[in-house]
Amino acid sequence: MSDLGKLAGRTLEIYERNAARYDRERGRSLFEKGWLDRFAAMVPAGGRILDVGCGTGAPIGDYLAGSGHAVTGVDGAAAMIALARDRRPERDWQLGDMRALEMGERFDGVLAWDSFFHLTGDEQREVLPRLLRHVRPGGPLMLTVGPAEGEVTGHVADDVVYHASLSPEEYRRIIEACGAEVAAFAVEDPACDGHTVLLARAG
């Protein structure tokens, strides 16, 4: 296995170890607001949203819940879920790995912000249809991905962490094969701190 492959397998371990520091240092300016509003506009008032890779639920889960939506958060790092439960015990927090996600129901919208891109390319090919199966017809799925196919590294606290992306064309092919459509694909959006955002509508 390559060094990057080994690093990919350590993502949850890295977040587990750095949960408290990540929560302290995670920006609360909500530079994501424009995309979150676009996503939420595709969800009915009071609709149910599944936040996959929710972390501690701040600030994104807080913003969506504050807009009147019922937010269920799922994360593979137990320390993240523990912080989320301690801060917002009234919400639904579940420990789970998106690679094996099976909620047994569909939601009005599904979000995987700054989480999906930690999967390898092969894992993304498996998980993208899985996420779409959790979205009610006509509802949105929003992901942060990369601008082009490849593998890179980033940082969580002092640890190096893995990131990967498929090509925009492959994302489109997978989404359309699932009977869904790409509603928007913004490459390194300068209004969103350089994030590349994929917004799909389930069929």
Burial 15-37 (b: 16+ CB within 10 A, else e): bebbbeebbeeeeeeeebeebbe
Residue 2's pLDDT is what?
Answer: 84
33, 97 contact by CB (below 8 A): no
The number of beta carbons lying within 10 Å of the beta carbon of residue 45 is 9
First vs last C-alpha separation in the chain: 37
Is this structure's pTM higher than 0.75?
yes
In 3D space, the residue among 140, 168, 122 whose CA is nearest the CA of residue 52 turns out to be: 140
Residue 143's pLDDT is what?
Answer: 98
Query: Could you tell me which residues come within 8 angstroms of residue 29 by beta carbon, excluding any fewer than 6 positions away?
Result: none
pLDDT in tens, the chain (203 residues): 789 989 999 999 999 999 999 999 999 999 999 999 999 999 999 999 999 999 999 999 999 999 999 999 999 999 999 999 999 999 999 999 999 999 999 999 999 999 999 999 999 999 999 999 999 999 999 999 999 999 999 999 999 999 999 999 999 999 999 999 999 999 999 999 999 999 999 99
Residue 78's pLDDT is what?
Answer: 98
What 8-state DSSP symbol labels residue 199?
Answer: E
* AA identity, residue 39: F
Residue 1's pLDDT is what?
Answer: 75
The angle at the Cα of 160, spanning 193 to 82, to the nearest 5 degrees, equals 80
* AA identity, residue 200: A
The Cα-based distances of 132 to 16, 122, 128 in angstroms read: 27, 16, 6
DSSP structure string for 83-130: HHHHH-TTSEEEE--GGG---SS-BSEEEETTTGGGS-HHHHHHHHHH
